[in-house]
Amino acid sequence: MLTHQIQTEFSRHFGSVPLLIASPGRINLIGEHTDYNDGFVLPAAIDKSIYLGFAKNGTRNCRIYSLDYQAMDSFSLDELVPREKGWINFLMGVTAQLLRAGYPIEGFDCVFGGDIPIGAGLSSSAALENGVGMGLSELFDLRIPKLELVQFAQKAEHEFAGVKCGIMDMFASMMGRSGHALRLDCRSLEFAYFPLSLGEYELMLLDTRVEHSLGDTAYNTRRDECQTGVETVRTQFPQVNSLRDVSADMLDAVRNHLPGRVYDRCSYVVAENQRLLKSCEALEMGNLSAFGDAMYASHEGLSRQYEVSCEELDFLVAQTINKPEVLGARMMGGGFGGCTINLIASAYVDTFLSEVSKAYTNTFGITLKPYRVTTSEGTRRV
């Protein structure tokens, strides 16, 4: 349906037939704020995507139409500098990476749009960046390896959107596989697919519909705090390069030299990596209830020690406690808004939704938005 719309709009604006790409958003089951600490994450690509159409235009200019914003913008290949704000940065950012790496990109036209809610923490920007990378690789027949495209997307985000994000979002969107989560070691980039057999349970997202503005700044501050922790640990344990190499004992050994806040941040990350490895074992054994417990523990750490949650997220998680039909819940992604992810009995979804929506509106005056999600294939040509 959406691909059809992309084609129609493409022909309306540019008068030609585009090559089509689909690029999904992502969820993350567990392993939050671990990616930029060389740790483990367990994300999956989802059945909400951005679709993009591309065609060459024989010039040095790139004309882009956003279906969702119903807006046209453009940039020249000879002037790729970040703009103040806006979606065009994601397209310019990726194009700049490809050119810098020596790939022979020429002018192109693009129409894009999709159904990944924006600002909900489902990585619509990573999906867009991956889609641009793969689109250009296909359009100019460059055969760029997927991992390289993922790295271009991450660099584009750093340089053109100003967020020093880890690699999880792009990796999950690009490498996702239907029916599976993927466990990624963010240090070696080795990964393994984990079948998600949830039986009578499913994953449901609850969108707080808030996006607290301190998000990006706080994200970069957390990175710095983790780095401070690593440097202090290294004074006694020189073999340490990142929090991935740090144990709870090492952290305790330098505790007196760390500001309390930094200790809490690091201690959360160290525990979250351990939790992730254990919860993957639980998943393999089909022990969903142990997996759910790990989700709750992850939320607790994110809220109290890492301090990236907010009132609305904490409220939604608290609503699930003492409800045996919900096995686990936690905030997902960077934090300060966005969604919670819930592992919930399918038969209970409707009842739960009507209860929690009422309570949420009563408390915050905001209409809660639920998304029932399933896993999907990663970025691909359609």
Q: Which of 52, 122, 168, 310 binds ligand GLA (CB under 6 A)?
A: 168
User: Which tokens hold the place of 45?
Assistant: 């690509």
Is 117 a residue that touches ligand GLA (CB under 6 A)? no
Q: Which of 25, 33, 44, 139 binds ligand GLA (CB under 6 A)?
A: 33
CA distance 274 to 239: 20
Is 38 a residue that touches ligand GLA (CB under 6 A)? no
Least distance to ligand GLA from the beta carbon of 252, Å? Answer: 25
Q: Is 169 a catalytic residue?
A: yes
Question: Is the Cβ of residue 105 or residue 153 nearer to ligand GLA in the bound state?
Answer: 153
Q: Which of 35, 38, 109, 169 is catalytic?
A: 169
User: Which tokens hold the place of 269?
Assistant: 């990350």
Residues 215, 330, 206, 150, Cα dihedral to 10° = 60
Q: Which of 18, 24, 25, 35 binds ligand GLA (CB under 6 A)?
A: 35
Least distance to ligand GLA from the beta carbon of 253, Å? Answer: 27
Q: Which residues contact 131 (CB under 8 A, 6 or more apart)?
A: 21, 22, 23, 50, 51, 52, 112, 379
**Which secondary structure element, helix H or strand E, spans residue 173, and what is its range?**
helix 168-175
Q: Using alpha carbons, list the distances in angstroms from residue 289 to 198, 276, 380.
A: 11, 14, 34
Q: CA-based diameter of the chain, in Å?
A: 67
Stretch that binds ligand GLA, among 33-41, 59-67, 191-199, 362-370 (CB under 6 A): 33-41
Is 24 a residue that touches ligand GLA (CB under 6 A)? no
Q: Which of 9, 32, 202, 264 binds ligand GLA (CB under 6 A)?
A: 32
φ, ψ at 118 (rounded to 5°) = -85, 135
**Contact set for ligand GLA, span 321-360 (CB under 6 A):** 333-334
By CB under 6 A, how many residues form the interface with ligand GLA?
10
Q: Which residues contact 64 (CB under 8 A, 6 or more apart)?
A: 72, 73, 74, 75, 88, 91, 109, 110, 111, 112
Stretch that binds ligand GLA, among 82-90, 166-174, 264-272, 323-331 (CB under 6 A): 166-174
Residues 223, 39, 331, 323, Cα dihedral to 10° = -150
Is 129 a residue that touches ligand GLA (CB under 6 A)? no
List interacting residues with ligand GLA (CB under 6 A): 32-33, 35-36, 165-166, 168-169, 333-334
The residues annotated as belonging to the active site are 169
